[in-house]
Amino acid sequence: MHTLNRIHRLSIRQKLLILMLVAFFTSLGIIVKSGFEERRQAIDEASHDALVLVKNLATKQQQIEIGTRELLGSLAKSQDVQRLDAKSCTVLFGRAKIRHPIYSIIGIVTPDGNLLASSETVEPGVINVLDQEHVRDTLKTHEFSAGGYRVGRLSGFRSIHYGYPVFDAARNLIAILTAGFRLDRYTSFIEKASPPTDSVVVITDQRGIRLYRFPENSMASLGQPIPQYALESMSGNHDQGIFEGVGGDGTYRINAFKQVRLKESMQPYMYMLVGMIKSKVLQKTDFIMYSNLLILGFVTLVAAVLAWVVTPFIKAD
């Protein structure tokens, strides 16, 4: 009652200003709440689109794996490979590379790591590749394996190499077939996927070394590691997911990632990431929210000025 009496004793000008303040803060709350809901929805939609794209790219990568496994498996059964005939293998691999230009090199390695023959002419035993992950893993597991980022010693291409075990009739490991997938071949796959404008596609090996980036950027070079937080975000227990952060080029993005494995029970050998600039994702919703706030502020200011000027001429009952 006391408060009502105090309000009743206020002037018309003061009552109008209080009413406008109530209307202003109510409208402000509605605009801000609505704006943040629209921001969240925009982020959810961008995250969903990025995740769909990265899953499609991972599926394409799995097709590359299957094709490579089948190619090397077929070569492993040939008589030239079974005999470890270096000269015949050179011819065989050269023809296979012509039929499959996505590979930088196809070769055969003896268990001691020496390159016996390849699609690129080389003297047997001159080059040892025992230091390469795919060779060591195949020797250890006797299974199809994948390595990391590498610039070919013979081909000169940036590649990721796969290894395939070769057994004799008694199931003894006698050699390892290798095939290097050319990383520049990802460009055609990415372009066909039509990534959104201002988005970035990054492919890394298990160590977080960039295998590929679209579009290219000198601040995020191939063969260099991605930020540590990004690798930690992708290499956890989740097969896929969303995280935010600053990329190697200094841009803050919403990122969707997918782990790529040769087998479900194995650790990822590759990570695929699609990032969208957060400020671009929120550009439209932020513009609408800030425009509405500006309009609200202008209307409130005009109303307050009018109230201040007009109310002296209004007579109270």
Q: Is the pLDDT of residue 119 over 50?
A: yes
**50: part of which helix (H) or strand (E)?**
helix 12-76
Band of pLDDT at residue 287, cut at 50, 70 and 90:
confident
The Cβ-side half-sphere exposure at 195, using a 13 Å CA radius, reads 28
Pick 88 or 16 by higher pLDDT.
88
Is 304 domain-assigned? no
Domain harbouring 145, CATH code: 3.30.450.20
Q: Do residue 70 and residue 58 come from a single domain? A: no
Pick 291 or 162 by higher pLDDT.
162
Is 58 domain-assigned? yes
Region 28-35 average pLDDT: 78
Among 153, 183, 213, the domain-final residue is: 183
Q: Which of 280, 160, 136, 155 is nearest to 209 (CA)?
A: 160
Q: Do residue 189 and residue 263 come from a single domain? A: yes
Region 198-207 average pLDDT: 91
CA distance 191 to 214: 9
Amino acid at 173: L
Q: Do residue 176 and residue 195 come from a single domain? A: no
Q: Do residue 133 and residue 230 come from a single domain? A: no
Q: Do residue 189 and residue 145 come from a single domain? A: no
**37: part of which helix (H) or strand (E)?**
helix 12-76
Q: Do residue 100 and residue 177 come from a single domain? A: yes
Q: Is the pLDDT of residue 1 over 70?
A: no
Q: Which of 271, 267, 153 is nearest to 213 (CA)?
A: 271
Is 271 domain-assigned? yes
Query: Could you say which DSSP state residue 112 is in?
Result: T
**What pLDDT does 5 receive?**
57
Among 166, 183, 200, the domain-final residue is: 183
Q: Do residue 161 and residue 226 come from a single domain? A: no
pLDDT tens for residues 135-173?
A: 999 999 999 999 988 887 777 788 999 999 999 988 999
Q: Do residue 76 and residue 114 come from a single domain? A: yes
**60: part of which helix (H) or strand (E)?**
helix 12-76
Q: Do residue 86 and residue 109 come from a single domain? A: yes
Q: Do residue 137 and residue 204 come from a single domain? A: no
Q: Please give the residue range of the domain that contains residue 92.
A: 64-183
Q: Is the pLDDT of residue 114 over 90?
A: yes
Strands (E), the chain: 103-109, 115-118, 145-151, 158-167, 173-182, 199-205, 210-214, 240-246, 252-260, 270-277
Pick 255 or 125 by higher pLDDT.
255
**pTM for the full model?**
0.81
Q: Do residue 162 and residue 232 come from a single domain? A: no
Is 296 domain-assigned? no
Is 176 domain-assigned? yes
DSSP line for 127-176: -B-TTSHHHHHHHHHSS-EEEEEEE-TTT--EEEEEEEEEE-TT--EEEE
Mean pLDDT of the residues in the chain: 86
Q: Do residue 130 and residue 148 come from a single domain? A: yes
Band of pLDDT at residue 95, cut at 50, 70 and 90:
very high
CA distance 33 to 51: 27
Axis-axis angle for helices 12-76, 283-310 (nearest 10): 180
Is 286 domain-assigned? no
What 3-state DSSP class applies to 244?
A: strand
**Range with lowest mean pLDDT among 15-24, 91-100, 239-248:** 15-24
Look up residue 135 and give its two tokens.
């060779």
Q: Is the pLDDT of residue 26 over 90?
A: no
**Range with lowest mean pLDDT among 75-79, 218-222, 285-289:** 285-289
Among 183, 201, 219, the domain-final residue is: 183
Is 11 domain-assigned? no
Largest CA distance in the chain: 113
Q: Is the pLDDT of residue 14 over 70?
A: no
pLDDT tens for residues 184-195?
A: 888 888 888 778
Is 6 domain-assigned? no
Pair 207, 148: CB distance under 8 Å: yes
> Considering its fold, how many domains does the chain have in total?
2
**3: part of which helix (H) or strand (E)?**
helix 2-8
Pair 254, 276: CB distance under 8 Å: yes
CA distance 138 to 247: 34
Q: Who's near 29: CB < 8 A, 6+ residues apart?
A: none
Region 218-228 average pLDDT: 89
